[in-house]
Structure 1
């Protein structure tokens, strides 16, 4: 993005370049020409709209969204929606008979599930820090899921509740 300082430098370069070619313009005229080239009506508008140049900012990151490999849409929906209580954010297929890519969410926790070969490795572990792990355990046990009834394991650093999806992925809910 062009800053006010960069636009001023462009005007100085234009002024000097035209002067070397015997086409004298004032610095103010060069500023106006640069402003118009950048799509502004005049230099006053450009200098008000362009950002100030500041120190370079470090890269920042948003939260990560794990992608988990699935092989059977029906089993994935049974496990992630019915058992774990996620809701669907979006569904995508390039065509109706091609693999599913599914975005799910529960209380701000986002996961992406993919039937696409190469999107993720089956048997992955997803580490999910959380609060109120006992409430989640009680909710899951109350659903009486026939393929697993996990309990909390106390570790030296906190509590862990692990569940395994039908595709070998491990979801490790943790409370410090």
Structure 2
């Protein structure tokens, strides 16, 4: 593997409305990278990114199950908490908070490991 090649995992989350989900994920600092649909009126598949962190959001029913859990480590945990009006809670392993997107997918958010 060359220095330019980086292996990665990109979670796929099932959403009913990519536009609504995109607005919600934008509050977390994600920006839509691209969008694909086979033809007008068919389900949308898109990528959102926050720096090097990427998620796929899919309107396709068979791509993922609702109520998925993704753990996201961020450098701005307190700002994320403020944006969503929640508090980060102390857990034995560190501070974190949990959010649910409009489709019920869970995001557990914690600080970048020191």
Q: Could you tell me the TM-score, scaled by structure 1's length?
A: 0.56
2:62 pairs with 1:62: no
- 5 Å-filtered alignment, 1:100-139, equals 100-138=44-82
Larger radius of gyration: 1
Give the deviation of 1:129 after TM superposition.
2.4
Q: CA deviation at 1:136?
A: 2.8
- What's the TM-score once normalised by structure 2's chain length? 0.84
What are structure 2's unaligned runs of at least 5 residues? 1-5
> Quick one: distance in 2 between partners of 1:74 and 1:89?
13
Inter-partner Cα distance in structure 2 for 1:129 and 1:96: 36
Mapping for residues 8-19 of structure 1, pairs under 5 Å: none
**How many Å separate the matches in 2 of 1:77 and 1:130?**
18
After TM superposition, give the deviation of residue 163 of structure 1 in Å: 1.1
Quickly say closer, same or farther: Cα 1:75–1:132, change in 2 above 3 A. closer
Q: CA RMSD in A?
A: 1.9
Q: Which residue of structure 2 lines up, in the alignment, with residue 5 of structure 1?
A: none
* Structure ranking higher in helix proportion: 1
2:43 matched to 1:99?
Answer: yes
**Structure 1 moving runs of 4+ over 4 Å:** none
Query: How many angstroms does 1:137 deviate by?
Result: 2.2
List runs of 5+ in structure 1 lacking aligned partners. 1-60, 142-148
- Partners of 2:72 and 2:106 lie apart in 1 by 11
Partner of 1:3: none
